[in-house]
């Protein structure tokens, strides 16, 4: 049974999940990849390619070998991104990452690679994580030497080797078993966002909704519920949860929304007209494609604005912008200046995202700082209502607009859109940049505009619906 680095990392997350993949692959859930995941993978390969090209241009280019495969006793397998052969017969290992820092998973990754290389009979002198320099700013031509950081992690790897060796043995011992106890997996003690792909397979008795729908549940509290076998929310007492969770629990027990009119009224008390419902879409890439930009910087390329001039008026105006090339957002800001007046509230969903972009754009363009800072100062967050003012178990413990909209305004939804979320929009913009003018490009542009427009229209309709509760 062969164990790769990817397998090992999966074992660390959920051992039984890896066992099912290896021993009963037909029962393993088929993962549906997304265009965005493909984008991230492509960026990772592109970063690796640039590092390889850079090393091939150095004085000792003949010392470097790329994507070199090592096998140990037929069980361990590793494909090292870069190997440097030293004069004394040892090697240096370089693992290339498209992140801006060295994380624990990267160290585990490099440790696994090091163990496999050593077990194949090769001595390792040094280990490096090659990652992006998050402070690098592109100017004209891409400077790979400045963009990448070669962080030596030899000591950290040495400190991890014995523990990782022990875990590798546990993984191999598990995979050799023809049968295991398939009741429950270790993900039971993890929050919902950390559940493995096989969670439902190993835990079919966990109901929906369950304790995993309680927002921000503490690990200790989760462990108590799991150890006692209490997964259903009707088995949880109100004195066992936090103030942020109690409304979700009450909603689950009554199968109805829980309202706090004071919170809803507090939101509407701050509203001043005209109203500007605002949403940005942003593009980011590991390798900066625009001068003046850092790796992974969020560059706004699209906005949608719905305008409601008066409380009584029924007329809603809509404005939108979509860049047709990778560029800094000056044109976008200037159009926003024409649309957004000097008075009135600006309504967003999860306003910290838009306000952070405003702050970043104000740094890029000091002459636009007053306008952008004013926009941030006037922005109110519609999501706040659903953090305590209107809580429904039908949201699944989330306050995402994608979860709230179909419950509050069921006539509107994202289900039939080709571009249906922010990551889809980012990936679509990547494709848009490479497409020639024509019907396909126009179709994609329209799909992107339709999605962003729905985001702000959704806010308009939710705003109107919730206003009725206090009127």
Class of residue 365 by CB neighbours under 10 A (exposed 0-12, middle 13-18, buried 19+): middle
d(CA 302, CA 298): 12
d(CA 109, CA 400): 33
pLDDT tens, residue by residue, 96-136: 999 999 999 999 999 999 999 999 999 999 999 999 999 99
* Start-to-end CA span in the chain (Å): 66
d(CA 460, CA 464): 6
pLDDT of the residue at 280:
97
pLDDT of the residue at 284:
92
pLDDT tens, residue by residue, 18-32: 999 999 999 999 876
**Residue 436 carries which DSSP code?**
P
pLDDT of the residue at 33:
66
With 70 as the cut, is the pLDDT of residue 337 above it? yes
pLDDT tens, residue by residue, 229-285: 999 999 999 999 998 899 999 999 999 999 999 999 999 999 999 999 999 999 999
pLDDT of the residue at 307:
98
Mean of all residue pLDDT scores within the chain: 95
Residues 6 or more apart whose Cβ sits within 8 Å of residue 430: 39, 283, 285
The domains of the chain, with CATH numbers, are 5-175 (3.90.320.10), 186-255 (no CATH), 264-470 (3.30.420.10)
With 80 as the cut, is the pLDDT of residue 471 above it? no
pLDDT of the residue at 415:
87
């Amino acid at each position: 049974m062969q164990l790769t680095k990817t397998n090992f990392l999966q074992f660390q997350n959920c051992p039984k999940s890896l066992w099912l993949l290896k021993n009963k692959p037909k029962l393993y859930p088929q993962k549906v990849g997304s265009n965005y995941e493909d984008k991230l993978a492509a960026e990772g390969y592109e970063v690796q390619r640039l590092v390889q090209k850079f090393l091939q241009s150095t004085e000792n280019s003949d010392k470097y070998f790329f994507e070199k495969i090592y096998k140990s006793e037929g069980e361990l397998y590793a494909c090292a991104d870069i190997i440097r052969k030293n004069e004394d017969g040892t090697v240096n290992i370089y693992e290339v990452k498209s992140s801006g820092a060295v994380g624990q998973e990267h160290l585990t990754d490099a440790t696994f690679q090091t163990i496999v290389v050593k077990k194949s009979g090769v001595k390792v002198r040094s280990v490096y994580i090659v990652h992006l320099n998050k402070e690098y700013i592109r100017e004209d031509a891409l400077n790979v030497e400045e963009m990448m950081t070669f962080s030596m992690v030899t000591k950290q790897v040495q400190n991890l080797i014995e523990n990782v060796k022990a875990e590798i043995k546990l993984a191999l011992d598990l995979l050799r078993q023809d049968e295991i106890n398939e009741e429950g997996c270790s993900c039971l003690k993890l929050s919902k966002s950390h559940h493995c792909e096989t969670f439902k397979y190993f835990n079919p008795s966990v109901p929906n909704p369950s304790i995993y729908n309680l927002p921000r549940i503490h690990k200790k509290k989760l462990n108590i519920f799991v150890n006692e076998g209490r997964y259903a929310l009707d088995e949880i007492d109100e004195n066992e949860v936090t103030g942020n969770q109690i409304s979700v629990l009450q909603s689950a027990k009554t199968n109805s929304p829980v309202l706090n009119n004071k919170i809803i009224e507090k939101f509407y008390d701050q509203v001043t007209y005209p109203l500007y419902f605002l949403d940005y879409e942003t593009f980011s890439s590991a390798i900066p494609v625009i001068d003046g930009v850092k790796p992974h910087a969020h560059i706004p390329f699209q906005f949608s604005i719905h305008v409601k001039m008066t409380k009584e008026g029924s007329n809603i105006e809509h404005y939108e912008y979509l860049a047709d090339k990778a560029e800094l957002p000056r044109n976008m800001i200037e159009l926003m200046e024409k649309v957004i007046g000097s008075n009135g509230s600006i309504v967003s969903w999860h306003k910290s995202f838009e306000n952070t972009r405003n702050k970043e754009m104000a740094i890029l363009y000091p002459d636009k700082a007053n306008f952008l800072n004013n926009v941030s100062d006037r922005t109110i967050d519609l999501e706040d209502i659903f953090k305590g003012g209107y809580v429904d178990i039908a949201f699944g413990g989330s306050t995402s607009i994608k979860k709230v909209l179909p419950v509050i305004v069921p006539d509107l939804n994202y289900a039939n859109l080709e571009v249906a979320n922010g990551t889809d929009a980012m990936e679509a913009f990547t494709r848009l940049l490479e497409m020639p003018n024509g019907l396909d490009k126009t179709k994609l542009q329209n799909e992107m505009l339709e999605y962003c427009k729905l985001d702000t229209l959704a806010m308009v309709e939710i705003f109107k619906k919730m206003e009725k509760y206090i009127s």
